[in-house]
Copies of this chain bind each other. A is one copy, B any other.
Amino acid sequence: MPAPDPARRSQESWRAILDAAFAILDEEGYQAVTMSRIAARAGVGRQTLYRWWPSKAAVVFEAFLDKVTTGPFPEEGASFPERLRAHVHGFLALYVDGSGGHRLRELIGAAQTDPELARALSEQWFEPRRAPVRKALLDAQRTGDVRADVDPDTALDLVFAPLHYRLLVSGEPVDAAYVDTVVDLCLAALAP
């Protein structure tokens, strides 16, 4: 089972597969996605999927990454609290609107029984979005705008966790007022 040579990979098939996988995910949800349906919709042999991805979860996640993104962390021109608030609102918009971002919830669900997907989600989705916030937070700690005796990752959790908690666990609705309140409380907790 030598790994196939990525250089010989068909770009057309690759694209068609990601498009098909995302389309089914977006239209009918994660449960409705199957390897067979992806292949059929992409006009591709089933073996081509198995050649390049180990599982349905891997294809769907790559398709998700390919189509969905958040805006970058606002880099300059505003205070840390304002930038943080804007970034969190970006997450909220993604999860709530209808363009596929809300399916992340189902991917996180699948990751609970799929360690490989869990790792991919963590490394390729969450960490890239936390990194710039962490960096800005460290700057803010250095300038004294935020108390310096708190582990930055814990502080980030404090902000990001409630949004995901409502999405995944409590089922309570999430809206702008909620995230604003959460951000306010966190900033209060992190005040020097």
Residues of A within 8 A of B (CB): 29-31, 105-106, 108-113, 118-119, 121-122, 126, 150-151, 153-155, 157-158, 160-162, 164-166, 168-172, 178, 181-182, 185-186, 188-190
Query: Within the complex, what minimum Cβ distance (angstroms) separates A188 from chain B?
Result: 5
Interface centre among A105, A154, A181 (most CB of B within 10 A): A154
Q: Is the CB of A157 within 8 A of B170?
A: yes
- Cα A161 to Cα B162 in complex, Å, equals 5
Neighbouring B residues of A154 by C-beta, 8 Å: 162, 178, 181-182, 185
Neighbouring B residues of A155 by C-beta, 8 Å: 185
Neighbouring B residues of A172 by C-beta, 8 Å: 153
Neighbouring B residues of A165 by C-beta, 8 Å: 157, 160-161, 164-165
**Subset of 22 A-B contacts with CB under 8 Å:** A30-B112, A30-B113, A105-B112, A106-B113, A108-B109, A109-B110, A109-B113, A110-B112, A119-B171, A126-B170, A150-B181, A153-B172, A157-B170, A158-B158, A158-B182, A161-B166, A164-B165, A164-B169, A168-B168, A185-B189, A185-B190, A188-B189
Q: Which of B111, B150, B164 contacts A185 (CB 8 A)?
A: B150
Neighbouring B residues of A113 by C-beta, 8 Å: 29-31, 106, 109-110
Given known A30-B113, A113-B29, contact A185–B170 (CB-CB < 8 A):
no
Query: Within the complex, what minimum Cβ distance (angstroms) separates A26 from chain B?
Result: 14
Q: Which of B111, B164, B185, B188 contacts A109 (CB 8 A)?
A: B111
- Cα A158 to Cα B29 in complex, Å, equals 30
Neighbouring B residues of A111 by C-beta, 8 Å: 109
- Cα A91 to Cα B131 in complex, Å, equals 29
Known: A154-B185, A155-B185. 11 other contacts (CB 8 A): A110-B112, A112-B168, A122-B169, A150-B185, A154-B178, A157-B170, A161-B166, A161-B169, A164-B169, A186-B189, A189-B189
